Amino acid sequence: MPPSCGAPGMSAAAVLIEVRLQPRASADEIAGEREGALVVRVRAAPERGRANEALVRLIAGRLKLPLAQVELARGARSRRKLVRVWGMDEGAVRRRLGMGPGR
């Protein structure tokens, strides 16, 4: 369910981002794009959802959005994930995450 997006310039539509997550990395970072997916490295281990939580926090922080506007939509137990972002258009999301233009 989307959070309230009543502020000017906010969108109620969700943006979906494909992510390839590397847990147990030396740093939390966005490492670019590979094969159409955002490559994200987190220090957290893939145990009890810790790496997924770190992923959501990193993306929300980079986008300057509250955690409630970023969620893991698919791939909780996989390295390939789909992250859903509310309240920002796709172009702005891609720019802030350092991704190339959308398809």
pLDDT at position 100 is 78
Q: Phi and psi of 23, rounded to 5°?
A: -75, 170
**pLDDT at 9 (0 to 100):** 46
Q: Which one is predicted more confidently, 19 or 11?
A: 19
What are the sequence ranges of the domains in the chain? 14-96
The domain defined by 14-96 folds into Conserved Hypothetical Protein Mth637; Chain: A; (3.30.1200)
Q: State pLDDT tens for residues 75-97.
A: 999 999 999 999 999 999 999 99
Residue-wise pLDDT tens digits, 32-66: 999 989 999 999 999 999 999 999 999 999 999 99
Q: What is the pLDDT of residue 42?
A: 98
Of residues 8 and 92, which shows the higher confidence score? 92
3-state secondary structure of 62: helix
From the CB of residue 76, how many other CB atoms can be counted at a distance below 10 Å? 11
Q: What is the structure's pLDDT at 102?
A: 65
Q: pTM for the whole thing?
A: 0.86
